[in-house]
Amino acid sequence: MKNIAYYNGRVAPLDEMMVPMNDRACYFGDGVYDATCAVNHVPMAFDDHIDRIYRSAKLIDIDIPMEKDEMKRMLMSLIEQVEGDCLFVYWQVTRGVGMRSHAYSGAQSKPSIWAFVRPCSMRDPYGAYRCITMDDTRFLHCNIKTINLLPAVIANQRAEEAGCDETIFHRGDRVTECSHSNVHIIKDGVLRTAPCDNLILPGITRAHILNICAKAGIPVVEEPFTLEEMMAADEVFFSSSSALTCRVREIDGKPVGMKDEATFARIRDAYQQELRAECGLA
């Protein structure tokens, strides 16, 4: 198959799938999601992504009506039916279906589970990318991977309109993250990345990068850094499950980084090797 979708037990091609209008995703974006890529039909960092959606759901009082192992089996069954060397795997859980009401304490159906799988391509890990910056006006629960993504949608649209690849958010002078990735800098051989507080999503790729740095002896500082520090860094890069590690060469039209390729390459190449081994390509 070219693609496939799932909604509460029903499976069909993505463009044939229908969902009830009263699913709370439609009115409130009331749900959480996760996503990864499957290479060679092996979903990358699968357990980490599964664990994260259950954490996110718990933070907004959603009790997922499916055990983790059952969810993994359901997603794997979809992955195995879609053709392609690289697949995008997306799944979300919403609070369920019920008459529109802001409060969710009333009678509602059990949470709804959505998923789809389609072919995709990943960003070139050896490319150099361009970014813009924007004020981070999102709410204060960015650690929850919620389907409320309008600010990220607008920010990514602004990047596209500027001929750029990603938007870097900041609150005042503090750099937080990007519209759909984490951002990091390297200065004097030290990796600096924002701490996992409520202002960023704790990225799965981010966690793997920190583990790689620990093994490679690359110092890491998990503290906020400023716009000025980012612009003066030896390297700037963003990371996500579909972007992996993307080196940044320009921010707001000004050249940045590109001064410590050796350190960046150690991180990039180690992660590439780790993923190839995980997907049976090593």
Q: Which residues are catalytic?
A: 145
Number of other residues whose CB lies within 10 A of the CB of residue 27: 14
- 3-state helix, strand, coil split of the chain in percent (to 5) is 30, 30, 40
CA-based nearest residue to 183, from 226, 121, 138, 123: 226
* All residues at 6 or more sequence positions from 65 whose CB lies less than 8 Å from its CB, including other chains: 110, 111, 113
CA distance 80 to 68: 18
Q: Which residue has the tokens 């954490």?
A: 55
| Phi then psi dihedrals of residue 170, to 5 deg | -145, 145
CA-based nearest residue to 191, from 227, 229, 164: 229
CA distance 275 to 282: 9
Number of other residues whose CB lies within 10 A of the CB of residue 103: 5
Number of other residues whose CB lies within 10 A of the CB of residue 257: 24
Instruction: List the beta bridge partners of residue 174.
Output: 171, 226
Please give the distance of CA 119 from its chain centroid, rounded to a whole number: 17
Amino acid at 28: F
